[in-house]
Amino acid sequence: MNIINLLAKKHIREILDALCKDGELGLQELATKLDIHKSSASTTLNSLADAGLVEIKIEDWKGKMEKYYYKITIYGMEARDFYKQGEKLEEKIVVNININGSGNTNIYNGHSKNKE
């Protein structure tokens, strides 16, 4: 999967932020914390793990079943920086538009294009 497409999916940023803040979290903990369904969290976390942004640790839980824990990787930390860079770029564009005429300027293919 393309990393840009993955980062654009629902809940990805929130999951990366939670893992960065809290360190290692179990599936149920994470789903509860973010108020998302456990199966959605599991699917999303598996996509993040496949991309190398999250690592999965599996432990036996009292001999009955496996318990999954998730931890952000260095690449996951870099992905969080991607969101921050996007926010900075948006701020620059908004400031540029405001300076150039309070909304009278459109950004078109990376260039300013004045409305007539």
pLDDT for 48-95, tens place per residue?
999 999 999 988 877 778 888 999 999 999 999 888 888 888 887 877
Ranges of each domain in the chain: 3-84
Instruction: Measure the CA–CA gap between 9 and 17, rounded to whole angstroms.
Output: 14
Q: How far apart are the first and last CA of the chain?
A: 42
User: Residue 66: what pLDDT?
Assistant: 84
Instruction: Looking at mean pLDDT, say which of 21-35, 54-68, 82-96, 100-114 comes out highest.
Output: 21-35
CATH topology of domain 3-84: Arc Repressor Mutant, subunit A (1.10.10)
Q: How confident is the model at residue 116 (pLDDT cuts 50, 70, 90)?
A: very low
pLDDT at 108 > cutoff 60: no
Backbone dihedral angles phi then psi of residue 17, each to the nearest 5 degrees: -65, -45
User: Residue 101: what pLDDT?
Assistant: 59
